[in-house]
């Protein structure tokens, strides 16, 4: 058993194909939803930094915060290789502390669901609001469980890069609606160019959200963060979604009042 977040190279390979669509969506959301120019950005839970690096390459001033030193070290090497600069911070996304506020922030692909209590989730949102300038936006993406959710869900991905082939299996091994938590198991098989095989198995919990629970959470911070747009993981700025039972892969755009 290992922590797959201690192996950033594999984590990064799995999601790298999503990067162009996310970056384009962010830029269009900045124009569409923010009521101020967007230059400085914050990503709480930045992980391996695929988004940090791409946005830095576009000229934004980017700060990435994560509680995993292996992830941040990997990101620092990536930035050096590309001749890019970003501010990297080892820290807790529940209680952040920065001297200057940001124009916008983003947190996608379920990173938010690592916050396992309502207290942690609300404090995170208030911390983000505290660090946003008025009119700035927070793009928050996470899965919402449907009423008929498959409690034995299995997802599989394959990816290749630099002579390494990676196969990933994500399996729900425990699902508890009452305590709003699911336990996931990630199994990774990485085959190197040399033929060497590395296997990693990791388990971790994520918080569950129904539509009503997500709605109630955002209502808790409505005094600071106004919900101005809802999209999904297709990242189409022209395709707005309703906050209804059909929304499962949610991308919320919140604007600082």
User: Up-side HSE of residue 188: CA atoms within 13 Å toward CB?
Assistant: 28
Query: Is residue 161 located within the same domain as residue 173?
Result: yes
What is the C-alpha to C-alpha distance for residues 113 and 93, in angstroms, rounded to an integer? 12
What is the C-alpha to C-alpha distance for residues 128 and 253, in angstroms, rounded to an integer? 13
Distances (CA, A) of 80 to 64, 145, 230: 15, 39, 35
Segment 120-134 mean pLDDT: 98
Residue 145, both tokens = 């469980």
Residue 195 φ/ψ region, left for φ over 0, alpha for ψ in the -120 to 50 degree band, beta for the rest: left
pLDDT in tens, 139-168: 999 999 987 777 778 999 999 988 999 999
Query: Is residue 122 located within the same domain as residue 102?
Result: yes
Query: Is residue 173 located within the same domain as residue 194?
Result: yes
Number of domains in the chain: 2
Helix (H) or strand (E) holding 65: strand 61-66
Q: Over 70: is that where the pLDDT of 210 sits?
A: yes
Query: Is residue 91 located within the same domain as residue 116?
Result: yes
Q: Give the number of residues written for the chain.
A: 257
Query: Is residue 99 located within the same domain as residue 200?
Result: no
Q: What is the CATH number of the domain that holds 202?
A: 2.20.25.110
What is the model's pLDDT at position 148? 74
Query: Is residue 190 located within the same domain as residue 168?
Result: yes
Query: Is residue 83 located within the same domain as residue 140?
Result: yes
Query: What does DSSP say about strands 154-161 and 40-44: parallel, antiparallel, or unpaired?
Result: unpaired
Segment 108-125 mean pLDDT: 97
Which domain covers residue 232, as residue numbers?
Answer: 4-145+210-256
Helix residue spans in 62-143 (DSSP H): 69-82, 118-130
pLDDT in tens, 235-253: 999 999 999 999 999 999 9
Segment 114-135 mean pLDDT: 98
Longest C-alpha distance within the chain, in Å? 56
Query: Is residue 85 located within the same domain as residue 172?
Result: no
Confidence of residue 11 (pLDDT cuts 50, 70, 90): confident
Query: Is residue 76 located within the same domain as residue 128?
Result: yes
Q: What is the CATH number of the domain that holds 96?
A: 3.40.50.150
Helix (H, G, I), strand (E, B) or coil at 143: strand
Query: Is residue 18 located within the same domain as residue 58?
Result: yes
DSSP single-letter state for residue 67: S
pLDDT in tens, 43-95: 999 999 999 999 999 999 999 999 999 999 999 999 999 999 999 999 999 99
Q: Which residues pair with 62 in a beta bridge?
A: 41
Query: Is residue 61 located within the same domain as residue 103?
Result: yes
What is the C-alpha to C-alpha distance for residues 129 and 221, in angstroms, rounded to an integer? 9
What is the C-alpha to C-alpha distance for residues 173 and 178, in angstroms, rounded to an integer? 16
Q: What is the pTM of this model?
A: 0.95
Query: Is residue 126 located within the same domain as residue 186?
Result: no
Mean pLDDT of all residues belonging to the chain: 95
Lookup result for tokens 């990536």: 78
């Amino acid at each position: 058993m290992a922590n797959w977040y201690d192996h950033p190279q594999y984590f990064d390979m799995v999601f790298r194909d999503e990067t162009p669509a996310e970056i384009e969506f962010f830029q269009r959301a900045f124009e569409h939803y923010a009521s101020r120019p967007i230059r400085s950005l914050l990503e709480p839970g930045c992980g391996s930094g695929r988004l940090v690096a791409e946005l830095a390459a576009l000229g934004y001033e980017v700060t990435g915060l994560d509680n995993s030193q292996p992830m941040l070290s990997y990101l620092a090497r990536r930035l050096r290789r590309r001749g890019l600069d970003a501010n990297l911070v080892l820290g807790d996304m529940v209680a952040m502390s920065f001297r200057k506020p940001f124009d916008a922030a983003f947190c996608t692909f379920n990173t938010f669901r690592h916050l396992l209590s309502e207290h942690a989730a609300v404090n995170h949102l208030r911390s983000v609001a505290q660090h946003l300038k008025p009119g700035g936006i927070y793009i928050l993406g996470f899965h919402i469980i449907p009423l008929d959710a498959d409690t034995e869900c299995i997802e599989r991905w394959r990816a290749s890069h630099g002579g390494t082939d990676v196969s990933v299996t994500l399996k729900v091994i425990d699902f508890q609606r009452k305590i709003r938590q699911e336990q996931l198991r990630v199994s990774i098989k990485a085959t190197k160019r040399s033929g060497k095989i590395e296997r990693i198995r990791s388990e971790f919990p994520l918080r569950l959200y129904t539509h009503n629970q997500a709605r109630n959470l955002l209502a808790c911070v409505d005094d600071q963060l106004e919900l101005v747009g809802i999209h999904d993981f297709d990242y189409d700025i022209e395709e707005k979604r309703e906050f209804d039972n059909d929304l499962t892969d949610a991308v919320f755009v919140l604007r600082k009042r």
